[in-house]
Structure 1
Amino acid sequence: MSIQDKQQELLDELNLFQDWTERYEYVIGLGKKLPAMPAEMKTDDKLIKGCQSQVWLDATAEGETIRYHADSDSLITKGMIALFVRVLDGEKADDILTADMSFIEQTGLKEHLAPTRANALNLMATQMKKHALELSSK
Protein backbone atom coordinates (compact mmCIF):
# COMPACT_ATOMS: atom_id res chain seq x y z
CA MET A 1 0.00 0.00 0.00
CA SER A 2 1.45 3.38 -0.98
CA ILE A 3 1.77 6.37 1.32
CA GLN A 4 -1.05 8.06 -0.58
CA ASP A 5 -3.25 4.96 -0.14
CA LYS A 6 -2.53 4.94 3.61
CA GLN A 7 -3.39 8.64 3.81
CA GLN A 8 -6.68 8.07 1.99
CA GLU A 9 -7.53 5.10 4.21
CA LEU A 10 -6.95 7.25 7.29
CA LEU A 11 -9.07 10.08 5.88
CA ASP A 12 -11.86 7.60 5.06
CA GLU A 13 -11.78 6.29 8.63
CA LEU A 14 -11.92 9.80 10.09
CA ASN A 15 -14.82 10.69 7.78
CA LEU A 16 -16.89 7.94 9.39
CA PHE A 17 -17.23 10.18 12.43
CA GLN A 18 -19.83 12.91 12.33
CA ASP A 19 -18.42 15.31 14.87
CA TRP A 20 -15.08 16.50 16.13
CA THR A 21 -15.42 14.79 19.52
CA GLU A 22 -15.63 11.37 17.86
CA ARG A 23 -12.64 12.14 15.65
CA TYR A 24 -10.69 13.36 18.66
CA GLU A 25 -11.43 10.09 20.49
CA TYR A 26 -10.37 8.11 17.41
CA VAL A 27 -7.03 9.92 17.24
CA ILE A 28 -6.48 9.34 20.97
CA GLY A 29 -7.26 5.67 20.35
CA LEU A 30 -4.58 5.52 17.66
CA GLY A 31 -2.13 6.93 20.17
CA LYS A 32 -3.08 4.32 22.74
CA LYS A 33 -2.33 1.58 20.19
CA LEU A 34 1.12 3.02 19.44
CA PRO A 35 3.70 0.87 21.24
CA ALA A 36 5.30 2.67 24.16
CA MET A 37 8.86 3.79 23.59
CA PRO A 38 11.26 2.33 26.17
CA ALA A 39 12.32 4.88 28.78
CA GLU A 40 15.99 4.61 27.76
CA MET A 41 15.07 5.79 24.24
CA LYS A 42 13.31 8.92 25.54
CA THR A 43 16.38 11.11 25.36
CA ASP A 44 16.67 14.84 24.64
CA ASP A 45 18.12 14.23 21.17
CA LYS A 46 14.90 12.41 20.22
CA LEU A 47 12.55 15.19 21.38
CA ILE A 48 10.75 17.14 18.67
CA LYS A 49 11.57 20.74 19.55
CA GLY A 50 8.71 23.23 19.56
CA CYS A 51 5.91 20.88 20.58
CA GLN A 52 3.78 21.88 23.56
CA SER A 53 3.99 18.33 24.91
CA GLN A 54 7.01 16.11 24.94
CA VAL A 55 7.18 14.06 21.73
CA TRP A 56 9.99 11.62 21.14
CA LEU A 57 10.77 10.33 17.66
CA ASP A 58 13.37 7.80 16.59
CA ALA A 59 13.98 6.28 13.19
CA THR A 60 16.07 3.38 11.97
CA ALA A 61 16.80 1.99 8.55
CA GLU A 62 15.84 -1.62 7.90
CA GLY A 63 17.14 -2.40 4.47
CA GLU A 64 15.55 0.14 2.15
CA THR A 65 12.77 1.09 4.55
CA ILE A 66 12.54 3.48 7.48
CA ARG A 67 11.03 2.34 10.77
CA TYR A 68 9.71 4.96 13.17
CA HIS A 69 9.26 4.73 16.92
CA ALA A 70 7.44 7.55 18.69
CA ASP A 71 5.85 8.42 21.99
CA SER A 72 4.44 11.41 23.85
CA ASP A 73 3.47 12.39 27.37
CA SER A 74 0.09 13.61 26.06
CA LEU A 75 -2.65 11.34 24.69
CA ILE A 76 -3.75 13.66 21.88
CA THR A 77 -0.17 14.37 20.85
CA LYS A 78 0.62 10.66 20.89
CA GLY A 79 -2.40 10.18 18.65
CA MET A 80 -1.16 12.88 16.30
CA ILE A 81 2.30 11.30 15.94
CA ALA A 82 0.60 7.90 15.55
CA LEU A 83 -1.13 9.27 12.41
CA PHE A 84 2.24 9.99 10.85
CA VAL A 85 3.80 6.72 12.00
CA ARG A 86 0.91 4.82 10.46
CA VAL A 87 1.39 6.57 7.13
CA LEU A 88 5.21 6.64 6.92
CA ASP A 89 6.48 3.64 8.89
CA GLY A 90 7.98 0.92 6.73
CA GLU A 91 8.24 3.10 3.63
CA LYS A 92 11.31 3.81 1.53
CA ALA A 93 13.19 7.01 2.34
CA ASP A 94 12.68 8.44 -1.17
CA ASP A 95 8.92 7.90 -0.90
CA ILE A 96 8.85 9.58 2.52
CA LEU A 97 10.83 12.55 1.24
CA THR A 98 8.49 13.11 -1.70
CA ALA A 99 5.26 12.39 0.21
CA ASP A 100 2.67 15.14 0.18
CA MET A 101 1.84 15.62 3.84
CA SER A 102 -0.97 18.08 3.20
CA PHE A 103 -3.42 15.23 3.86
CA ILE A 104 -3.24 16.32 7.48
CA GLU A 105 -5.15 19.48 6.50
CA GLN A 106 -8.02 17.26 5.32
CA THR A 107 -8.30 15.55 8.70
CA GLY A 108 -9.75 18.69 10.27
CA LEU A 109 -7.36 18.38 13.20
CA LYS A 110 -5.76 21.79 12.85
CA GLU A 111 -9.07 23.64 13.16
CA HIS A 112 -9.85 21.96 16.48
CA LEU A 113 -6.48 22.12 18.20
CA ALA A 114 -4.78 24.93 20.04
CA PRO A 115 -2.38 26.78 17.70
CA THR A 116 0.69 25.29 19.41
CA ARG A 117 -0.67 21.76 18.96
CA ALA A 118 -1.65 22.46 15.35
CA ASN A 119 1.89 23.69 14.70
CA ALA A 120 3.19 20.44 16.20
CA LEU A 121 1.67 18.56 13.26
CA ASN A 122 4.00 20.40 10.87
CA LEU A 123 6.96 19.84 13.19
CA MET A 124 6.25 16.10 13.34
CA ALA A 125 6.04 15.74 9.56
CA THR A 126 9.20 17.78 9.08
CA GLN A 127 11.14 15.76 11.65
CA MET A 128 10.06 12.46 10.11
CA LYS A 129 11.24 13.61 6.69
CA LYS A 130 14.50 14.83 8.22
CA HIS A 131 15.14 11.39 9.70
CA ALA A 132 14.42 9.78 6.32
CA LEU A 133 16.89 12.11 4.63
CA GLU A 134 19.61 11.44 7.21
CA LEU A 135 19.16 7.68 7.02
CA SER A 136 19.05 7.61 3.22
CA SER A 137 22.37 9.46 2.99
CA LYS A 138 24.21 6.85 5.14
Structure 2
Amino acid sequence: MKKTKVIEILWTLTLLACVVVSCFYLLLLGGKCYQSVINNTNQAEDQRIPISFIATSIRQSNKNQVSIQKVGGVECLVISYDDYSKYIYAYQGELKEMVSLPDTEFKLASGELIASVDSIDFELIDNELNYQININNQSYDMKIVMR
Protein backbone atom coordinates (compact mmCIF):
# COMPACT_ATOMS: atom_id res chain seq x y z
CA MET A 1 0.00 0.00 0.00
CA LYS A 2 2.77 2.44 0.94
CA LYS A 3 4.73 1.54 -2.17
CA THR A 4 1.70 2.25 -4.39
CA LYS A 5 1.15 5.62 -2.71
CA VAL A 6 4.80 6.62 -3.23
CA ILE A 7 4.59 5.62 -6.91
CA GLU A 8 1.38 7.67 -7.32
CA ILE A 9 2.99 10.71 -5.71
CA LEU A 10 6.12 10.38 -7.88
CA TRP A 11 3.95 9.95 -10.98
CA THR A 12 1.91 13.05 -10.08
CA LEU A 13 5.06 15.10 -9.42
CA THR A 14 6.56 13.94 -12.73
CA LEU A 15 3.41 14.99 -14.60
CA LEU A 16 3.40 18.33 -12.77
CA ALA A 17 7.07 18.87 -13.67
CA CYS A 18 6.28 18.10 -17.34
CA VAL A 19 3.43 20.63 -17.30
CA VAL A 20 5.66 23.28 -15.69
CA VAL A 21 8.47 22.68 -18.21
CA SER A 22 5.95 22.80 -21.09
CA CYS A 23 4.49 26.10 -19.82
CA PHE A 24 7.96 27.58 -19.47
CA TYR A 25 8.85 26.47 -23.01
CA LEU A 26 5.63 28.00 -24.37
CA LEU A 27 6.40 31.28 -22.61
CA LEU A 28 9.87 31.38 -24.17
CA LEU A 29 8.49 30.53 -27.60
CA GLY A 30 5.75 33.15 -27.27
CA GLY A 31 8.30 35.77 -26.24
CA LYS A 32 10.45 35.04 -29.28
CA CYS A 33 7.41 35.20 -31.59
CA TYR A 34 6.34 38.52 -30.04
CA GLN A 35 9.85 39.95 -30.44
CA SER A 36 9.91 38.83 -34.07
CA VAL A 37 6.58 40.58 -34.76
CA ILE A 38 7.84 43.77 -33.07
CA ASN A 39 11.08 43.71 -35.10
CA ASN A 40 9.18 43.21 -38.38
CA THR A 41 6.78 46.04 -37.50
CA ASN A 42 9.64 48.40 -36.67
CA GLN A 43 11.45 47.52 -39.88
CA ALA A 44 8.32 48.15 -41.96
CA GLU A 45 7.79 51.45 -40.15
CA ASP A 46 11.40 52.47 -40.82
CA GLN A 47 10.74 51.90 -44.52
CA ARG A 48 7.39 53.68 -44.65
CA ILE A 49 8.26 56.87 -42.78
CA PRO A 50 10.79 58.40 -45.21
CA ILE A 51 8.81 57.37 -48.29
CA SER A 52 5.56 58.77 -46.89
CA PHE A 53 7.20 61.94 -45.59
CA ILE A 54 8.59 62.90 -48.99
CA ALA A 55 5.40 61.95 -50.82
CA THR A 56 3.25 63.99 -48.42
CA SER A 57 5.56 67.00 -48.65
CA ILE A 58 5.41 66.92 -52.45
CA ARG A 59 1.64 66.47 -52.57
CA GLN A 60 1.19 69.56 -50.40
CA SER A 61 2.98 71.74 -52.95
CA ASN A 62 2.67 72.76 -56.59
CA LYS A 63 5.08 71.60 -59.27
CA ASN A 64 6.64 75.04 -59.73
CA GLN A 65 7.51 75.16 -56.02
CA VAL A 66 9.75 72.07 -56.17
CA SER A 67 13.42 72.08 -57.15
CA ILE A 68 16.62 70.19 -56.47
CA GLN A 69 19.64 72.10 -55.16
CA LYS A 70 23.05 71.22 -53.78
CA VAL A 71 23.73 72.62 -50.32
CA GLY A 72 27.16 71.96 -48.87
CA GLY A 73 27.72 69.19 -51.43
CA VAL A 74 24.48 67.41 -50.47
CA GLU A 75 21.57 67.05 -52.87
CA CYS A 76 18.43 68.60 -51.36
CA LEU A 77 14.82 68.56 -52.42
CA VAL A 78 13.66 72.16 -52.00
CA ILE A 79 10.02 73.17 -51.70
CA SER A 80 9.73 76.95 -51.91
CA TYR A 81 6.82 78.83 -50.40
CA ASP A 82 6.24 82.59 -50.24
CA ASP A 83 7.84 83.13 -46.83
CA TYR A 84 10.15 80.13 -46.42
CA SER A 85 11.74 77.11 -48.07
CA LYS A 86 11.69 73.52 -46.90
CA TYR A 87 14.81 71.44 -47.54
CA ILE A 88 14.64 67.64 -47.45
CA TYR A 89 17.95 65.78 -47.60
CA ALA A 90 19.98 62.83 -46.36
CA TYR A 91 22.91 63.71 -44.13
CA GLN A 92 25.12 61.30 -42.20
CA GLY A 93 22.65 58.41 -42.42
CA GLU A 94 19.57 60.46 -41.54
CA LEU A 95 16.71 61.94 -43.54
CA LYS A 96 16.44 65.54 -42.38
CA GLU A 97 14.14 68.47 -42.92
CA MET A 98 15.13 72.10 -42.56
CA VAL A 99 12.76 75.03 -42.83
CA SER A 100 14.59 78.22 -43.66
CA LEU A 101 14.02 81.74 -44.91
CA PRO A 102 14.71 82.08 -48.65
CA ASP A 103 18.38 82.57 -49.53
CA THR A 104 19.48 81.94 -45.94
CA GLU A 105 22.43 79.63 -45.34
CA PHE A 106 22.14 76.86 -42.78
CA LYS A 107 24.16 73.96 -41.45
CA LEU A 108 23.11 70.55 -42.75
CA ALA A 109 23.59 69.03 -39.30
CA SER A 110 20.99 71.38 -37.80
CA GLY A 111 18.05 69.88 -39.74
CA GLU A 112 15.28 68.05 -37.93
CA LEU A 113 15.64 64.25 -37.94
CA ILE A 114 12.84 62.47 -39.79
CA ALA A 115 14.16 58.92 -40.13
CA SER A 116 17.31 56.87 -40.60
CA VAL A 117 18.31 56.29 -44.24
CA ASP A 118 21.51 55.20 -45.96
CA SER A 119 21.14 57.61 -48.89
CA ILE A 120 18.61 59.35 -51.10
CA ASP A 121 18.77 60.49 -54.73
CA PHE A 122 16.34 62.92 -56.36
CA GLU A 123 15.59 63.46 -60.04
CA LEU A 124 13.13 66.07 -61.29
CA ILE A 125 11.85 65.70 -64.84
CA ASP A 126 9.08 68.11 -65.91
CA ASN A 127 6.29 67.55 -63.38
CA GLU A 128 7.57 64.19 -62.18
CA LEU A 129 9.79 63.60 -59.15
CA ASN A 130 11.72 60.33 -59.05
CA TYR A 131 13.57 59.47 -55.90
CA GLN A 132 15.46 56.46 -54.66
CA ILE A 133 15.82 55.81 -50.95
CA ASN A 134 18.30 53.30 -49.58
CA ILE A 135 17.33 51.97 -46.15
CA ASN A 136 19.20 49.13 -44.45
CA ASN A 137 20.86 48.17 -47.76
CA GLN A 138 17.50 47.96 -49.55
CA SER A 139 16.62 50.33 -52.37
CA TYR A 140 13.14 51.80 -52.93
CA ASP A 141 12.35 53.66 -56.16
CA MET A 142 9.45 56.08 -55.99
CA LYS A 143 7.78 58.30 -58.56
CA ILE A 144 5.40 61.19 -57.86
CA VAL A 145 3.60 63.19 -60.50
CA MET A 146 3.11 66.74 -59.28
CA ARG A 147 0.06 68.83 -59.99
The answer, yes or no, to whether TM exceeds 0.5 is no
Q: TM-score, normalised by structure 2?
A: 0.27
Q: TM-score, normalised by structure 1?
A: 0.28
Larger RCO (alpha carbons 8 Å, 6+ apart):
1
Give the helix-richer structure, 1 or 2: 1
